[in-house]
């Protein structure tokens, strides 16, 4: 007999390094790329500053047998989470505060910010498409595919968002302008997530016991926890890369910057049942054969509390990346 256990759990809070069923692992908070190019640089330009707020995301876990097993059973669990209750003006205010804090942090670390007219008056820079803020990405064919990550990206008030090259990268012209002006151009990109996912799978073969078959378990969890995600940070542009020249660097966050604690209530959209923000759990089945199921959660935010936590996470992210940038100078 095969036993398959499938579960989905909602947690109040998952901390920065926590994984479901595992011990916390230390992660270096900051990653420097080509740090030598930061040396001696005291004057910079701001090319792009953006904060992306994730509003829908999902995760999944599947337990199945080993490569050489003839057993085809499995247990699959997935979780979808949607953020509601945070209007655009809150996200804009968070972005504006993060930008002002970033500028102040640059100055307090000894940097001079060159006048933006050096960019806007440059003919090469003028070729770069500038997009109005915010830019919102939504899922296509959500009913069929289950959806992909959805988000809203904001520039500080009065600024635009730099258009992306094919593939989503920084346009070639931006690197060229940095070389022309002999002044590093900073592109700053932060992503703020509203929940933290975890997962655990297990497979136990009973072929050498009195019980025939196998046992599978798959669990996914989600908890309220506003955080700046790994990969956020600064791209430091000084010129165009070539075979013999690598003038550009980066400072990116490796460990998420988490502000613990709930900021709203969690609604089980699968059944429509309203739950308290702190605890919700559900065992979704124990059956023979293979099974899979999905739970959908809507986090209904208190916009004021979300604003405080998002701003705190971005302030700490600024502190980390700017501290690392200045230390490498």
DSSP-based three-state secondary structure for 15: coil
Determine the pLDDT at residue 294.
78
What pLDDT, on a 0 to 100 scale, did the predictor assign at position 89? 98
Q: Does residue 257 contact residue 51 with C-beta atoms inside 8 Å?
A: no
What pLDDT is recorded for position 10?
43
The answer to whether residues 222 and 199 touch, using CB atoms and an 8 Å cutoff, is no
What is the spatial distance between Cα 10 and Cα 197, in angstroms, rounded to a whole number? 9
CA distance linking residue 226 with residue 303, whole number of Å: 12
What pLDDT was estimated at residue 223?
Answer: 87
Q: What stretches of the chain show up as alpha helix (H) in DSSP?
A: 88-108, 117-120, 142-145, 172-181, 303-327
Q: Checking DSSP bridges between strand 185-205 and strand 43-64, what pairing results, if any?
A: parallel
Contact 53, 154 (CB under 8 A): yes
Domain ranges of the chain: 3-327
| Res 154: pLDDT | 98
Tens-binned pLDDT, residue by residue, of the chain (329 aa)? 444 443 444 443 333 333 333 445 567 899 999 999 999 999 999 999 999 999 999 987 777 665 545 455 666 778 899 999 999 999 999 999 999 999 999 999 999 999 999 999 999 999 999 999 999 999 865 655 566 899 999 999 999 999 999 988 999 999 999 999 999 999 999 999 999 887 676 666 655 544 445 666 777 778 899 999 999 999 999 999 998 889 999 999 999 999 999 999 998 876 543 332 222 222 333 333 456 667 889 999 999 999 999 999 999 999 999 999 999 99
3-state secondary structure of 283: strand
Phi (first) and psi of residue 210, to 5 degrees: -75, -10
Residue 96 to residue 186: CA distance in whole angstroms: 17
Residues 6 and 284 sit within 8 Å (Cβ to Cβ): yes
Q: Tell me how far apart the alpha carbons of residues 214 and 284 are, in angstroms, rounded to a whole number.
A: 19
CA angle 266, 267, 269 (to 5 degrees): 140
Instruction: Pick the closest to residue 158 from 101, 95, 114 (CA basis).
Output: 95
The predicted pLDDT at position 213 comes to 56
Q: How far is CA 166 from CA 137, 150, 163, 172, 177, in A?
A: 17, 20, 10, 10, 19
Residue 160 burial (CB count, 10 A):
14
- Its pTM stands at 0.83
- Cα–Cα distance for residue pair 329/312, rounded to 1 Å: 26
Sequence-ordered alpha helix ranges (H) in 131-219: 142-145, 172-181
In this structure, what are the phi and psi dihedrals at residue 104, rounded to the nearest 5 degrees?
-65, -40
Cis (ω within 30 of 0) for the bond into 134?
yes
Res 28: pLDDT:
81
3 state SS of 277: coil
């Amino acid at each position: 007999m095969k036993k398959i256990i499938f579960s989905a759990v909602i947690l109040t809070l998952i901390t920065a390094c926590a994984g479901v069923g595992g011990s916390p692992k230390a992660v270096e908070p900051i990653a420097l790329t080509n740090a030598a190019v930061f040396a001696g640089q005291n004057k910079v330009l701001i090319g792009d500053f953006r904060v992306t707020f994730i509003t829908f995301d999902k995760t999944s876990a599947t337990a199945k047998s080993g490569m050489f097993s003839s057993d085809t059973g499995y247990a699959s669990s997935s979780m979808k989470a949607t953020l509601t209750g945070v209007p655009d003006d809150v996200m804009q205010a968070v972005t504006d505060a993060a930008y002002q804090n970033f500028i102040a942090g640059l100055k307090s670390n000894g940097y001079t910010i060159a006048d933006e007219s050096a960019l806007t008056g440059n003919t090469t820079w003028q070729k770069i498409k500038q997009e109005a803020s915010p830019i919102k990405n939504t899922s296509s064919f959500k009913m069929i595919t289950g959806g992909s990550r959805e988000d809203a990206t904001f520039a500080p008030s009065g600024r635009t968002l730099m258009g992306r090259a094919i593939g989503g990268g920084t346009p070639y012209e931006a690197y060229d302008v940095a070389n022309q002006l002999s002044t590093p151009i900073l592109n700053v990109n932060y992503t703020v997530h509203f929940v933290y996912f975890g997962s655990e799978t297990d497979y136990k073969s009973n072929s050498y016991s009195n019980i025939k078959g196998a046992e599978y378990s798959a669990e996914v969890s989600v908890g309220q926890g506003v955080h700046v995600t790994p990969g956020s940070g600064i791209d430091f542009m000084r010129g165009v890369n070539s075979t013999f020249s690598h003038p550009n660097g980066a400072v990116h966050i490796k460990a998420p910057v988490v502000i613990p604690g709930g900021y709203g209530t969690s609604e089980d959209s699968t059944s429509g049942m309203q739950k308290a923000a702190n605890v919700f759990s559900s065992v979704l089945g124990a059956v023979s054969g293979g099974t899979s199921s999905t739970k959908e959660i809507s986090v209904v935010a208190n916009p004021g509390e979300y604003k405080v936590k998002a701003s705190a996470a971005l302030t700490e992210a600024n502190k980390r990346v700017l501290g690392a940038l200045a230390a490498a100078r």
